[in-house]
Chain A
């Protein structure tokens, strides 16, 4: 649910990065944080465990610029990927405007990817959202590793909706901004359709 404030002339949207544990959701946000002009972003907040596993969420506010005189702000969130944090994942999906699914390309993580996509669908449905109708993109991360699935395999198991997808190596930034841009674009076009 985006928030349009006519008084401060701002449009605020919420993007959630979803996916299996250790897939690179936090790394996506870290790269965006590092590469964004400090004036265009706020602090990155990570509620993580001592071993740097996301406990509740990461949060990164971005101000991308103005559209038709309105400042566009995107609030980026990651969910904790580990299976047993499902209650937290549901909370973070509340009010979401767009979703990025970060898949781990490694063959041994295919089951975890599939489980996570299913979990995303279920949790969205619980909040009254239909994934097929939501601005949604997929990122195939860790493309630089050896033991990875082919794009065809990933596409057929993880992207039945044929949403835009991107190959990525998040620590190096490959595909990171392309993914963000694609989901942001879909959100703004969605807002246009719904008339704000």
Chain B
């Protein structure tokens, strides 16, 4: 039995790298929108025509989708289904699991094509996998004591929390 993963902390420098890659993918695929979600449904980064898009809900449902198909995979003896594709009348969604930890989603229409998206996603997946491996390694290198250094939650008080609820 594996222990649950510890908290996922994302720093500015890593976020910038992730965002760059997502922007590149967005451009290269001519997609409407590209976003990255962690497997628990938290949106990590997004790029594209997302003004009228409910990205929070999309992120949560994407994670639910991956979780459900992952459950199906196990039942038939597969490790996971690493690529999912949903075809609509106008828009399509391409979903890929990156490094078993995060989910890359590309929403595209007729200005792009499935072939192009698949090709470019494959390249971006390699880049993003490396970035997330680096994040993981950095975290392990820091050690347990350094983990909390500078955490915004270190100095949190009961009053801070009470104030949240007005």
Cβ contact of A4, chosen from B8, B40, B149, B164, cutoff 8 A: B8
A111-166 at interface with B (beta carbon < 8 Å): 125-129
Contact residues in B for A59 (Cβ distance below 8 Å)? 41, 57, 60-61, 64
B55-83 interface bits toward A, Cβ cutoff 8 Å, 1 = contact, 0 = none: 01100110010011011000000000000
Stretch at the interface among B9-17, B21-29, B111-119: B9-17
A45-57 interface bits toward B, Cβ cutoff 8 Å, 1 = contact, 0 = none: 1010000000011
Given contacts A1-B7, A4-B9, A67-B160, contact A43 B57 (CB under 8 A): yes
Stretch at the interface among A22-30, A101-109, A180-188: A180-188
* Bound CA–CA A49/B158 (angstroms): 40
Would A6 and B40 count as touching, CB distance under 8 A?
A: no
Would A5 and B15 count as touching, CB distance under 8 A?
A: yes
* Bound CA–CA A64/B161 (angstroms): 10
B33-71 interface bits toward A, Cβ cutoff 8 Å, 1 = contact, 0 = none: 000001111101000000000101100110010011011
A79 CB to closest chain B CB (Å) equals 12
Q: Looking across the interface, which residue of chain A has its beta carbon closest to that of B10? A: A5
Would B38 and A3 count as touching, CB distance under 8 A?
A: yes
Would A14 and B57 count as touching, CB distance under 8 A?
A: no
B125 CB to closest chain A CB (Å) equals 21
Judged by a CB distance under 8 angstroms, whether B91 is at the interface is: no
Given contacts A67-B160, A196-B154, contact A12 B54 (CB under 8 A): no
Q: Give the interface centre of B2, B6, B10 by most chain A CB atoms within 10 Å.
A: B10
Would A128 and B3 count as touching, CB distance under 8 A?
A: yes
Contact residues in A for B5 (Cβ distance below 8 Å)? 1, 95
Judged by a CB distance under 8 angstroms, whether A69 is at the interface is: yes
Would A195 and B4 count as touching, CB distance under 8 A?
A: no
Judged by a CB distance under 8 angstroms, whether B151 is at the interface is: yes
Would B152 and A69 count as touching, CB distance under 8 A?
A: yes
* Bound CA–CA A94/B63 (angstroms): 10
Contact residues in A for B160 (Cβ distance below 8 Å)? 67-68
A55-114 at interface with B (beta carbon < 8 Å): 56-57, 59, 61, 64-65, 67-70, 72, 75, 87-88, 90-92, 94-95
Cβ contact of B154, chosen from A12, A127, A185, A195, cutoff 8 A: A195
Would A188 and B153 count as touching, CB distance under 8 A?
A: yes
* Bound CA–CA A67/B156 (angstroms): 7
Would A1 and B164 count as touching, CB distance under 8 A?
A: no
Would B148 and A70 count as touching, CB distance under 8 A?
A: no
Would B57 and A184 count as touching, CB distance under 8 A?
A: no
Cβ contact of B4, chosen from A1, A3, A42, cutoff 8 A: A1
Contact residues in B for A128 (Cβ distance below 8 Å)? 1-4
A-B contact pairs, 8 of them (CB 8 A): A5-B44, A12-B42, A57-B64, A67-B153, A95-B40, A128-B4, A185-B161, A194-B7
New A-B pairs, 13, CB < 8 Å, besides A6-B9, A68-B155, A91-B64: A1-B40, A4-B152, A5-B44, A42-B56, A64-B165, A67-B152, A68-B152, A72-B164, A92-B67, A181-B165, A184-B165, A188-B161, A191-B156
Which 7 pairs from chain A and chain B are nearest by CB? A195-B148, A95-B40, A196-B151, A7-B15, A91-B67, A3-B42, A64-B164
